């Protein structure tokens, strides 16, 4: 019983610390997490503290996933771990409410009558079970990190070790930021006075942290620059049909969809089949944002139209051989430089009306795929993908995006290079 009392005291203490220093001072709180690009996989990796005693975990950020999942087979030690059983309120928060009986000795991830869910890794999906444990996250006043707060029973999913295959080295699972009840944003909003919104600023370098904020701004990306002042807004849409690898009938997607109406290259709209741009009754089509796709994926006909227009606008710039999936490549010596990246035609995603568009400038449209070779960082998503346009990591780096679940809208800044800042400028000070 002694360990239990100690842990209870500890979590009470951290709650008190939190309420004293933050809730008393502010009507609402904001939390902050670092996020760093992994050069080998091009995944974005964050760090959270879970369990008792607290264990620092590297998790790959999955913007469109339902849960946080971790490997429970190896090295899971915690005095505050708890199973989530079938028929409980927590289990009812998931769409799938199947039950799993594990016949092996009881341990994290193995128990009788637990709530089973589908989970997805970078290469495969599988069945897992829901569980709960303490999760701590640092608060912020918008400028610098402050005291941490703990959710004593954060609901997550336990996965078998093989699901780690294909994750960045050292990662122990993935952090789901989907708009469902069990995503981190809504679990934080139900545990603390935090708005149901979060902002993501991915750094383009593999050496410095970018930043994610949970709750309201200011979002002071670099000293004195509240990047949220630059937001333009566009509605977020709910896809009525789940886009997950496995789901049950009637389950909505937890991903973040926006309404791209047209795509312009160097100011001229590219001819596109408009039906691909909206979500049909089967949940196909439309545009979503992803942190697990390294480059934007375009349905084949869109890809052909956009790359064709881009190649035309590049004029006589020297083409060189494709690099892997990146087909449109140029000799870097032949491409000029601007403070917003390589001097190439701008690609605009036109949103709800002509005056609201997301400009993709050189730093976000081009990638140095190998030394001296600059490629258009868009890939062919295939003839019949579930989603027609998947805006990928390279296109959102050094942009601040706010996913406002409460108000169903996306705030976006386009490139922060315009204001001579990057997502690596947030002052994390002494981060654990």
Ligand X SMILES: *[C@@H]1O[C@H](CO)[C@@H](O)[C@H](O)[C@H]1NC(C)=O
* Binding region for ligand X (CB under 6 A): 87-89, 92, 141-144, 218, 266-267, 313, 315
Question: How far lies 348's CA from each of 11, 225, 268, 292, 355, in Å?
Answer: 48, 25, 9, 22, 11
Q: What is the DSSP letter of 85?
A: B
Query: Can you count the helices (H) and strands (E) in the chain?
Result: 6, 32
Q: What is the DSSP letter of 23?
A: I
Measured distance CA(253)–CA(285) in Å, rounded: 13
CB of 99 to ligand X, least distance (A): 12
Q: Are strands 262-265 and 210-214 parallel, antiparallel or unpaired?
A: unpaired
Measured distance CA(115)–CA(129) in Å, rounded: 6
Name which of 166 and 193 has its Cβ closer to ligand X: 193
CB of 95 to ligand X, least distance (A): 12
CB of 265 to ligand X, least distance (A): 9
CB 89 within 8 A of CB 115: no
Paired with 114 in beta bridges are 85, 100
Residue with tokens 């947030």, as numbered in its chain: 426
CB of 33 to ligand X, least distance (A): 17
Name which of 55 and 266 has its Cβ closer to ligand X: 266
Name which of 82 and 142 has its Cβ closer to ligand X: 142
Paired with 140 in beta bridges are 30, 145
Name which of 122 and 147 has its Cβ closer to ligand X: 147
CB of 104 to ligand X, least distance (A): 27
CB of 92 to ligand X, least distance (A): 4
Measured distance CA(33)–CA(48) in Å, rounded: 8
Burial 397-427 (b: 16+ CB within 10 A, else e): bbbbbbbbbeeebbbbbbbbbeeebbbbbbe
How many CB atoms are located within 10 Å of the residue 35 CB?
Answer: 22
Tokens, residue 117: 């869910």
Cα-Cα end-to-end distance for the chain: 30
CB of 313 to ligand X, least distance (A): 4
CB of 97 to ligand X, least distance (A): 7
Tokens, residue 270: 């590219």
CB of 102 to ligand X, least distance (A): 21
Q: 352 in helix, strand or coil?
A: coil
Four-point Cα dihedral 165, 167, 170, 176, nearest 10: -120
């Amino acid at each position: 019983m002694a360990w239990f009392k100690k842990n209870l005291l500890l979590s009470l203490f951290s709650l008190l610390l939190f309420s004293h220093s933050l809730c008393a001072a502010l009507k609402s709180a904001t939390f902050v997490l670092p996020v760093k690009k992994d050069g080998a996989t091009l995944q974005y990796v964050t760090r959270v503290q879970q369990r008792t005693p607290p264990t620092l975990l590297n998790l790959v950020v999955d913007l469109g996933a339902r849960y946080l999942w971790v490997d429970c087979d190896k090295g899971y030690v915690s005095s505050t771990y708890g199973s989530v059983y079938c028929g409980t309120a927590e289990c009812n928060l998931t769409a799938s409410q199947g039950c799993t009986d594990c016949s092996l000795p009881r341990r994290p991830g193995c128990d009788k009558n637990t709530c089973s869910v589908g989970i997805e890794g970078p290469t495969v999906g599988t069945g897992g079970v829901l569980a709960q444990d303490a999760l701590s996250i640092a608060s912020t006043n918008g400028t610098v990190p402050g005291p941490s707060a703990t959710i004593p029973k954060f609901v997550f999913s336990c996965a078998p070790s093989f699901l780690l295959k294909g994750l960045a080295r050292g990662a122990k699972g993935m952090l789901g930021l989907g708009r469902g009840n069990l995503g981190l944003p809504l679990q934080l909003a139900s545990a603390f006075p935090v708005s149901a919104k979060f902002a993501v600023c991915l750094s383009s370098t593999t050496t410095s942290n970018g930043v994610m904020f949970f709750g309201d701004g200011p979002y002071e990306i670099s000293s004195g620059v509240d990047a949220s002042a630059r937001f333009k807004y566009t509605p977020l849409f709910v896809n009525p049909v789940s886009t997950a690898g496995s789901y049950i009938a009637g389950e909505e997607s937890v991903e973040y969809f926006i309404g791209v109406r047209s795509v312009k290259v160097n100011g001229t709209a590219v001819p596109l089949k408009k039906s691909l741009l909206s979500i049909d009754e089967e949940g196909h089509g439309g545009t979503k944002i992803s942190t697990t796709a390294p480059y934007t994926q375009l349905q084949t006909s869109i890809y052909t139209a956009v790359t064709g227009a881009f190649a035309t606008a590049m004029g006589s710039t020297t083409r060189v051989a494709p690099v892997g999936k990146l087909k449109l490549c140029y000799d870097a010596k032949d491409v000029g430089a601007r403070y917003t990246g390589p001097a190439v035609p701008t690609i605009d995603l036109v949103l709800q009306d002509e005056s609201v568009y997301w400009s993709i400038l050189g730093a976000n449209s081009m990638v140095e795929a190998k030394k001296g070779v600059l490629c258009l960082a868009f890939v062919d998503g295939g003839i019949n993908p579930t989603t027609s346009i998947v805006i990928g990591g390279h296109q959102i780096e050094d942009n601040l995006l706010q996913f406002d679940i409460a108000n169903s809208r996306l705030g976006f800044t386009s490139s922060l290079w315009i204001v001579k800042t990057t997502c690596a400028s947030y002052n994390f000070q002494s981060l654990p």
